[in-house]
Structure 1
Amino acid sequence: MRRLAATFALLFGSPALALELPAWLAGHWQTRGGQTTTEEVWLAPADGLMTGMSRTSGGKKPFFEFARLEQRGGKLLYIAQPGGAAPTEFSLTASDAESFRAENPGHDFPQRIIYERRGNDGIDARIEGDIDGKPQVQHWQYFRVR
């Protein structure tokens, strides 16, 4: 599928960015690693907005983040508030029925946020960017909580 999209982009220019919110993200998701558990909960889209939160527990100290996906001015934004901090906006630069990528090249870390749907019951999420000129990636494999 990605090869087909890349070929299309070469022949006809970049495909239009899908402006629909990723309804497939709605639900309760969880991953475990060692002593830690990370959960994300996303509400279904309504009026151009999805709200979400994440919580990591069982590690050295608990962590939480508020997030939202919103349609604004003809574009989609991913807005993160780790630890309840001031919001940081990332513009969606790629979006289709199975994934999205949001970017903010001026942010310290991450500069990219990527979510990919894995069937109905899985999501791969990762954040990417540079810290002190060195590439960094953090990755989570979530499974739907029933």
Structure 2
Amino acid sequence: MKKFLFPAMLLFALNACNQKTTESAENYPNKRENFDWLIGNWKQINEDTKTETFEFWAKISETQYAGHGFVMSGKDTTWQEKMDLSLSDSTWTMSIVTPGNEDMVKFEMTTYSDSTFNVENPKHDFPKLIKYWKTKDKLNASVQAKAKRFRLSFQDFKYYYFKK
């Protein structure tokens, strides 16, 4: 698995650096939102032992962050998604592409603080609400629609990997 993860992280970093910025920071001189606390290589810590879930986040510019989430079962990638958190027309949106969908699903940011944000799309079947927040050394996420909800908790991949 070590042989797979390093090339995957390298490809993600290279891809993130090559993506176009949707808006420049100069267009929003009063912008105060900062989501740098997302940046990193995260491994889920509250899951079963049959799979491993990862999220990698990189800062593309002052107004764009790119994320890549995937699930591994042994050496096989069984699921993945690409995420884009960006500022456009003074609104932060998270766009997500998941397996089986060619189009990105957009979620508009409804709340944020120094270490948390919520994005929503009431017209989408699942999820309708996505929450991210950081507590100490953990990145947390909650994905929900009505009664259906699940929570993810991630720890820095390097720390988790060498702690074992």
Q: Same fold (TM over 0.5)?
A: yes
Q: 1: CA distance between counterparts of 2:68 and 2:77? A: 17
What is the TM-score of this pair, normalised by structure 2?
0.70
What is the TM-score of this pair, normalised by structure 1?
0.78
Q: Classify 1:70/1:19 alpha carbon distance in 2 versus 1 (closer, same or farther; 3 Å).
A: farther
Work out whether 1:144 is the aligned partner of 2:136: no
C-alpha RMSD of matched pairs (Å): 2.0
**Aligned equivalent of 2:20:** none
Aligned pair partner of 1:98 in 98, 101, 115: 115
**Aligned equivalent of 1:43:** 58
Work out whether 1:20 is the aligned partner of 2:47: no
Work out whether 1:73 is the aligned partner of 2:73: no
Moved more, 68-77 or 29-38: 29-38
Q: Output one character per residue of 1:99-123: Cα deviation in whole Å (capped at 9) or x when no partner.
A: 000000000100000001011x201
Size of the aligned set, in residue pairs, is 124
Map 1:59-138 to 2 at 5 A. 62-83=78-99, 85=101, 86-119=103-136, 121-130=137-146, 135-138=147-150
SS in 1 for 2:143: strand
Alpha-carbon distance, 1:96 to partner = 0.5
Q: 2: CA distance between counterparts of 1:97 and 1:145? A: 22
4+ residue stretches of structure 1 with deviation over 2 A? none
Q: Output one character per residue of 1:17-50: Cα deviation in whole Å (capped at 9) or x when no partner.
A: x852411000000014221110000002514111
Letter matched to residue 124 of structure 1: N
Identity over the aligned pairs, expressed in percent? 23
Alpha-carbon distance, 1:61 to partner = 7.0
**Aligned equivalent of 1:10:** none
**Aligned equivalent of 1:31:** 44
Q: 1: CA distance between counterparts of 2:110 and 2:62? A: 21
Note the residue ranges of structure 1 that are not aligned, 5 or more in a row: 1-17
Q: Is the CA contact 2:70–2:77 (under 8 Å) kept in the aligned structure 1?
A: no
Letter matched to residue 31 of structure 1: Q
Note the residue ranges of structure 2 that are not aligned, 5 or more in a row: 1-30, 159-164
Aligned pair partner of 2:71 in 56, 71, 77: 56
Structure with greater strand percent: 1
